[in-house]
Amino acid sequence: MPAVRIVTQEELPTEPVTLVNASSTRVWIYLGVTLVLLAVIGTWLVWFSAFIQRNLQEDDVRAACRRAMPDAADRCFDTVVIQRGGVRR
C-alpha cells in the first residue's frame, strides 16, 4: 500500500466537520488542578526522602552505639542525639 493516497470527491465527508473550542476557564481549571497535584506530589516526595534519610541516620547511630557500648546502647543513643541536636551527621 502506498504511503500517500489520493482522496476522491466521493470519499469526502458530506457533513461539515465542527471543531469544539475549549473554553479558557476549562483550560485554567485543568492547569490549576495539575499544578496543585504536582505540588502535592513534590511535597510528599521531599517529606518522604527526609523521613527515609532520618531513619537511616538513626539506624547508623544506634548501630555505632551497640558496637561501642553494648550494655548501654540506649543511653549512648540518647546522649549522641542530644549532643548533636537531632539525628544528623
- Please, where are the H alpha helices in the chain? 24-68, 73-84
Task: Assess whether pLDDT exceeds 70 at residue 1.
Answer: no
Could you report the per-residue pLDDT of 23-64, keeping only the tens digit for each?
888 889 999 999 999 999 999 999 999 999 999 999 999 999
Write phi, then psi, for 7 (nearest 5 degrees): -95, 125
- What whole-number distance in Å separates Cα of residue 43 and Cα of residue 41? 6
Q: pTM of the prediction?
A: 0.60
pLDDT, position 18: 74
What residue has cell string 461539515? 16
